[in-house]
Amino acid sequence: METEELFQKGEYDQVSEVAGKAIEDGQYGESWRLLKARADFARGRYVAALDTLEVANTRYSSSIRLRWLGMQVAKSAGVDELSSRWSNEISALVDRNPWSYTNAASRVTLGRYLFAAGADPRKVLELFFDRAKSSQPGFVDAYIAAGELALSKYDYGIAAEEFQKAAGFEPENADVLYGLARAFASSDSQKADLTIHKALEVNPRHLPSMLYIAETFIDGERYEMAEKWLDRASKVNPEHWNLWALRAVIAHLQADHDREGFCRRTALGWQPLQAKVDYQIGRKLSRHYRFADAVEYQRRSLTIDEDFLPAKTQLGQDLLRLGKNEEGWTLIKQVAKLDGFNVVTHNLLKLNQRLSQFTTLESNGIQVRMDAREAEIYGPQVVQLIEEAREVLCRKYIHELRTPVTIEIFPSQADFAIRTFGLPGGEGFLGVCFGNVITANSPASQAANPSNWQAVLWHEFCHVVTLQKTNNKMPRWLSEGISVYEELQRDAAWGDTLSAEYRVMILGADLTPVSQLSSAFLNPKSSNHLQFAYYESALVVEYLIAKYGQETLLRILIDLSVGMPVNESLQRYTGSLAALDAEFSDWIRDRTTRVGGDLDWAVPERIEVRPDEGVAPSPAEQAMTPAQALAWWNAHPNNYFALQMAAKLFISREEWDAAIPPLEQLIDHFPQERGSNSALRLLARVYRETGDEEQELKLLRQVVREQGNALDEVSRLIELEAEAEDWEGLAETARRGLAINPLRPVVQQALADAADHLNRPTDAIAAYRALLQLDPIDPAGMHYELAEQYVNLGKRKLGKRQVLLALEQAPRYRQALALLKQLADEEVFPPNPSLPNPVPPNPAPPNATGGSRQAEDLLSDRKESR
Ligand SMILES: [Zn+2]
């Protein structure tokens, strides 16, 4: 029908007029009534829509579609009696005459109706939506309904499938595109963005799409843009509850509490008994880390409707993020029981079971929860690092830590994601902080590019301090900026430093003005741009401290804590935002120009080189041929990218000597590049190939000292230092290696060997204990080594226990037998107690609890993550 097309394009007024006229003219059929009511409903003319539907329902006494639409309009208008009456009528009609409602449109309407009434989602899918699809192939409404059902269960994969199928039939349907965007939102925000804009191209008055865009701007802290979209939406339907709920969110985030109250009341105005208004406001506040306020909103929502499951799910998650575990888990369990198809609660409950196997290490109100085996291997180092972070950062930011703080470290990335986001995914995240709860990936899930767990935890703990200090009222960029900055303060090999890519970005067009930094985190152009946003934010923090002092940074945090917007606070101390933007830009550009200033930085069209044929299986597409690369180098002998390409080309050809000069040139002029392609790492490799161990050693030491995640280089350095019996060097290298991956036996063995030779029994004991957890080939030998170390420390009982364990594994172990005999003799003739103990006593290990107690801990006192 032509009029339906007009509706799809958003010509609601015209549709209302045409349909109204058709009705007046006495044209028969429910379609005109449906269209008229839908058009008025879309424009927020609830009373007009209800008038149409009331008359139509008397005339079309068996139409369930008119009644279902009537229920929606009546609810929006707050006329609950009418909604219930039509609901009862649908139920009676279907009971009386079920075979009248077997066409596709009726099936979909009925499925929606039953699902809303709490029917089993799987049955609704099979008996109504699937059957509608097979009875009328290409009936798009059936796919939309199925997609919406999946979205309501947080099952974005299925939702995407349904909407994609729908788009196959009707690529220009705004409802389909809107559904598709929501399905993509959690996994691919760029794709979601494109899709939502396409929806608005098709229908420029598509209200849900406008509200969706407003929401993404709110999430990115761009409130002005969000307001613009809300204003645009209000031209379509000024009455829409969500429009006002989102305005309330913005008012809250801008600390305008009068307006927040006004907007909330307006949202509730038509429908004071709708739980979704407070749910929506709370949900958005949670996205901004305002968990305490978010919890209050969910509680209000549940006061209106105690069975409103979305609010219950959200409340449960927010409580877990606040560390209020008992109540949080109780709610999650309740929801899971009531709604077996809720993916989020299902995932969380399964995770809860695995968490009950974790070990808890406690230290002054900080709880570290880890896999039991990992806790044995490096738990004490985690606790030690966190204690140091607490000491250093709380002093520096003049903050008294509010405990408990919980840190959860997950060996499985999927578990980390579920704990953090409720859903699998989020592979790029190393750790997340929610204020009092940190979640992090353990080194067990490290892939090709390892990270430094100590740097990650330092970074996250810094979030704890700054989020607490500002009562979670902090723009993301500043929180990230301070955390990255503090990583670098603690260890220059952590954090992020100027790379060639960043240099080009800073001096090119990629620097974001300070006043707009929040936007750099919203829909960044690429993952590199997001990484750059972290880096730039840290530079801004460095600049603010250098120019205005640490005390100004503290004042800004205090301003934020009472709800002042960051740009207002920045203006207070820097005079003008425009000047700050300009001065920061000048400062960083000037500094960056001087780094690597002797090199030519012109970027060639292509910076990859295609390896010679036969050298690599799949040449990169956007690459120069070797001849082109060498010609370019010839023409630009001083160019950073030419030198890189030439060096890599020679390495791929195993022309080691030829690779040395370009790499040396790079190191001379731009030594701070990090990563597996950095000149330092490449040259170390070249010297390994040429057998120049002295040069290789020198370079490896530099790499390991300056780059916090160079695990391969650590392994190689361990080899060389052990060979050279450089025990001090080996101890230091092992220490660096443990910060990357303490689960690598070779690193622990290095620590053990070095500690052995340097007579540091405490270190040796830690290493041997770790090795015993790492499936050693010779466990008896490990127990024996441990025994010796304990005896060295004067801990004879522990020593004896280890000897016995060694003998249990290998009953004829000669050295172990001898040690056992020696210990037995000494029990008869104890050694002179007046002799001084040759080594300092072992520090008390942190208080560890494990096993069955954890299950109770988890239900009674635990927390969650960012
Ligand atoms: Zn962070």
Give CA separation, 613 vs 52, 428, 556, 610, 627, in Å: 74, 34, 58, 8, 12
Residues 484, 487, 492, 496, Cα dihedral to 10°: -30
Can you read off the two tokens belonging to residue 643? 């030198």
Residue type, 692: D
Distance 319 CA to ligand 1 centre (A): 21
In the three-class reduction of DSSP (H, G, I as helix; E, B as strand; rest coil), residue 528 is classed as helix
Specify which residues 366 forms β-bridges with: 363, 405
Distance 527 CA to ligand 1 centre (A): 15
For residue 864, how far is the Cα from the chain centroid? 13
Distance 542 CA to ligand 1 centre (A): 16
Quote the pLDDT of residue 832. 56
Q: What is the pLDDT of residues 74-93, one digit of tens each?
A: 988 888 889 999 999 999 99
Distance 533 CA to ligand 1 centre (A): 11
Distance 668 CA to ligand 1 centre (A): 33
For residues 694-713, give the mean pLDDT: 95
Distance 436 CA to ligand 1 centre (A): 14
Distance 374 CA to ligand 1 centre (A): 24
Q: Write down how long the chain is.
A: 866
Distance 545 CA to ligand 1 centre (A): 19
Distance 285 CA to ligand 1 centre (A): 19
| Contact present, 245 and 263 (Cβ < 8 Å) | yes
Could you give the CA distance from residue 33 to residue 41 in angstroms, rounded to a whole number?
A: 12
Distance 298 CA to ligand 1 centre (A): 27
Could you give the CA distance from residue 864 to residue 405 in angstroms, rounded to a whole number?
A: 9
Q: What is the pLDDT of residues 597-623, one digit of tens each?
A: 999 999 888 777 666 655 444 445 567
Distance 463 CA to ligand 1 centre (A): 7
Strand 405-410 versus strand 437-441 pairing type:
parallel
Distance 479 CA to ligand 1 centre (A): 7
- Smallest CA-to-CA distance from 326 within 865, 866, 863 is with 863
Distance 521 CA to ligand 1 centre (A): 12
| Contact present, 282 and 295 (Cβ < 8 Å) | yes
Distance 477 CA to ligand 1 centre (A): 9
Confidence of residue 865 (pLDDT cuts 50, 70, 90): very low
Distance 191 CA to ligand 1 centre (A): 24
- pLDDT above 70 covers what percent of the chain? 94
Give CA separation, 401 vs 387, 397, 690, in Å: 12, 10, 54
For residues 31-43, give the mean pLDDT: 93
Distance 217 CA to ligand 1 centre (A): 20
Distance 805 CA to ligand 1 centre (A): 44
Distance 90 CA to ligand 1 centre (A): 52
Can you read off the two tokens belonging to residue 545? 């401290």
Distance 865 CA to ligand 1 centre (A): 12
Could you give the CA distance from residue 372 to residue 350 in angstroms, rounded to a whole number?
A: 18
Distance 462 CA to ligand 1 centre (A): 9
Spatial CB neighbours of 39, under 8 Å, sequence gap ≥ 6: 7, 12, 13, 15, 16, 19
Residue type, 390: R
Distance 797 CA to ligand 1 centre (A): 45
Total-model pTM: 0.83
Burial label, 577 (beta-carbon count in 10 A; 0-12, 13-18, 19+): middle
Quote the pLDDT of residue 610. 67
Distance 36 CA to ligand 1 centre (A): 51
For residue 693, how far is the Cα from the chain centroid? 42
- Smallest CA-to-CA distance from 183 within 213, 203, 163 is with 163
- Smallest CA-to-CA distance from 13 within 205, 197, 228, 233 is with 205
Distance 742 CA to ligand 1 centre (A): 23
Distance 659 CA to ligand 1 centre (A): 38
Max avg pLDDT among 21-30, 125-134, 428-437, 458-467:
458-467
Residue 835 has pLDDT above 70, yes or no: no
Could you give the CA distance from residue 324 to residue 318 in angstroms, rounded to a whole number?
A: 9
Could you give the CA distance from residue 390 to residue 412 in angstroms, rounded to a whole number?
A: 27
Could you give the CA distance from residue 496 to residue 512 in angstroms, rounded to a whole number?
A: 17
Give CA separation, 794 vs 99, 648, 767, 802, in Å: 88, 55, 18, 14
Distance 483 CA to ligand 1 centre (A): 6
Distance 250 CA to ligand 1 centre (A): 23
Between residues 827 and 52, which one has the greater pLDDT? Answer: 52
Distance 700 CA to ligand 1 centre (A): 29
Quote the pLDDT of residue 621. 58
Could you give the CA distance from residue 853 to residue 359 in angstroms, rounded to a whole number?
A: 9
Could you give the CA distance from residue 255 to residue 248 in angstroms, rounded to a whole number?
A: 10
Distance between terminal CA atoms of the chain?
50
Q: What is the pLDDT of residues 106-146, one digit of tens each?
A: 999 999 999 988 888 889 999 899 999 999 988 999 999 99
Distance 29 CA to ligand 1 centre (A): 59
Q: What is the pLDDT of residues 159-195, one digit of tens each?
A: 999 999 999 999 999 999 999 999 998 788 888 999 9
Distance 415 CA to ligand 1 centre (A): 19
Quote the pLDDT of residue 839. 43
Between residues 645 and 838, which one has the greater pLDDT? Answer: 645
Distance 481 CA to ligand 1 centre (A): 8
Task: Tokens 């701070």: give the residue.
Answer: 672
Distance 755 CA to ligand 1 centre (A): 35
| Contact present, 807 and 784 (Cβ < 8 Å) | no
Distance 454 CA to ligand 1 centre (A): 13
Using the CB atoms, write b or e for 173-212: b if 16+ within 10 Å: bbbbbbbbbbbbbeeebeebbebbebbbebbebbbbbbbb
Could you give the CA distance from residue 549 to residue 697 in angstroms, rounded to a whole number?
A: 41
Residue 339 has pLDDT above 90, yes or no: no
Can you read off the two tokens belonging to residue 599? 């090199």
Q: CA 713, 456, 754: angle at the middle one, nearest 5? A: 40
Distance 460 CA to ligand 1 centre (A): 6
Quote the pLDDT of residue 236. 94
| Contact present, 459 and 537 (Cβ < 8 Å) | no
In the three-class reduction of DSSP (H, G, I as helix; E, B as strand; rest coil), residue 635 is classed as helix
Residue 643 has pLDDT above 60, yes or no: yes
Q: How does the average pLDDT of the chain come out, rounded?
A: 89
Residue type, 265: R
Confidence of residue 50 (pLDDT cuts 50, 70, 90): very high
Distance 431 CA to ligand 1 centre (A): 7
Quote the pLDDT of residue 1. 58
Distance 400 CA to ligand 1 centre (A): 21
In the three-class reduction of DSSP (H, G, I as helix; E, B as strand; rest coil), residue 90 is classed as helix
Q: What is the pLDDT of residues 527-569, one digit of tens each?
A: 889 999 999 999 999 999 999 999 999 999 999 999 899 999 9
Distance 187 CA to ligand 1 centre (A): 19
Distance 564 CA to ligand 1 centre (A): 22
Distance 23 CA to ligand 1 centre (A): 60
Distance 459 CA to ligand 1 centre (A): 6
Quote the pLDDT of residue 549. 96
Distance 309 CA to ligand 1 centre (A): 31
Q: What is the pLDDT of residues 714-732, one digit of tens each?
A: 999 999 999 999 999 999 9
Residue 57 has pLDDT above 60, yes or no: yes
- Give the DSSP letter of residue 624: E
Distance 422 CA to ligand 1 centre (A): 19
Confidence of residue 856 (pLDDT cuts 50, 70, 90): very low
Could you give the CA distance from residue 187 to residue 628 in angstroms, rounded to a whole number?
A: 39
Distance 433 CA to ligand 1 centre (A): 7
Between residues 251 and 518, which one has the greater pLDDT? Answer: 251
Distance 561 CA to ligand 1 centre (A): 19
Distance 438 CA to ligand 1 centre (A): 10
In the three-class reduction of DSSP (H, G, I as helix; E, B as strand; rest coil), residue 851 is classed as coil
Distance 432 CA to ligand 1 centre (A): 7
Confidence of residue 858 (pLDDT cuts 50, 70, 90): very low
Task: Tokens 């877990």: give the residue.
Answer: 320
- Omega within 30 of 0 (cis) for the link into 843: no
Quote the pLDDT of residue 753. 94
